Amino acid sequence: MRPPRNANLIVPHPPMPEPVPRPIGPHLFPGVPVGSVMAFAGTLTPTGTAAGDHETDLTLFLWRNCDGSKLNKRQFPQLFKVLGHTYGGSDDEFHLPCYGGQFFRALTTSPKLDPDIDGRTRYPDGKGETAGVGSMQPFALQQHKHGSTASGPGTGGKGVGDVKYDADGTTDVVTNASSVDVLTSDYETRPQNIYVNWIIKVAYAAKDLPAGPFG
């Protein structure tokens, strides 16, 4: 038989479990880790000046331009913990990386992915690893050949890439022929590119930096 109903009967709910306290730290901070670098498509306000039209003051967002600036580790302890003296400096002074004019390459320990890894060097005046984050490689052009045949002095083909055959048997590859619309450079081999600002996260919160505008 079913027990009689009692409209006044209140069935107690089991007690709710106590919330588990979560530790507070950078690993739970919303956003990106200090030391993260990203591309910024806008114009930056020069340090120490007021923002003009279509300019961004990075000090309001806890980011800095990667322009090689010198910082004090006591003022930027979180960033120093990440960078150390990889990009230069000593004792309390450390430097931001300067990425102007540089192309990025993901770090690897595999010679298959970086065949010239043994030729990498530390960042100028830096104290990082020779093949670690911040290490650099100079310009290089991969060795290659241009096949051609000729029966005597003259020029074979048309435009850029033509081979000139001299009477003494020497050859020259044409790279500046005016008959073909190809841009050449006396200084570098490069892909088509576009300028951006590379910026770096310097702190998790404003309270972690000196009072007032930093820089």
Task: Extract the residue ranges of the chain whose pLDDT is less than 50.
Answer: 24-26, 153-154, 157-161, 213-215
pLDDT confidence of residue 1: 54
Q: Does the predicted model carry a pTM greater than 0.95?
A: no
Nearest partner of 39 among 187, 202, 198, judged by Cα:
198
Task: Give the start-to-end residue ranges of the domains of the chain.
Answer: 32-46+54-140+194-215
Pair 37, 199: CB distance under 8 Å:
yes
pLDDT confidence of residue 150: 54
CA angle 83–85–91, rounded 5-degree value: 125
pLDDT confidence of residue 34: 96
Chain-centroid distance of CA 139 in Å reads: 18
pLDDT confidence of residue 163: 57
